[in-house]
Amino acid sequence: IVFFLYFASHVPITLFIDLQALLPEHVYPRALRDVMHWYAADFKDPMMMAPPAWFKSFIFCEALVQLPFFPIAAYAFFK
């Protein structure tokens, strides 16, 4: 159950938080942008405050490889 929760929880984290470094701001509602700005400011995360190009390439790989994998892995551990 721990692995299921791990993989299942990463789907919304990737979609709602991580991809904000890659996608334009207008894609996300104000509340989600505020959560991201709060996180970046409170935890002093320079990668999310002003993501450099190399970091955006990592986020792109996360969206391309990990995001499709997370639900599959969650399902595998659920059954």
Flag whether pLDDT at 18 surpasses 90.
yes
- What is residue 8's predicted lDDT score, i.e. its pLDDT? 98
- What is residue 79's predicted lDDT score, i.e. its pLDDT? 86
Contacts 24+ apart (CB under 8 A), 10-19: 10/66, 10/70, 11/67, 11/70, 11/71, 11/74, 14/62, 14/63, 14/66, 14/67, 14/70, 15/67, 18/59, 18/62, 18/63, 19/59, 19/63
- What is residue 39's predicted lDDT score, i.e. its pLDDT? 95
- What is residue 59's predicted lDDT score, i.e. its pLDDT? 97
Q: What is the pTM of this model?
A: 0.86
Per-residue pLDDT reduced to its tens digit, 23-76: 999 999 999 999 999 999 999 999 999 999 999 999 999 999 999 999 999 999
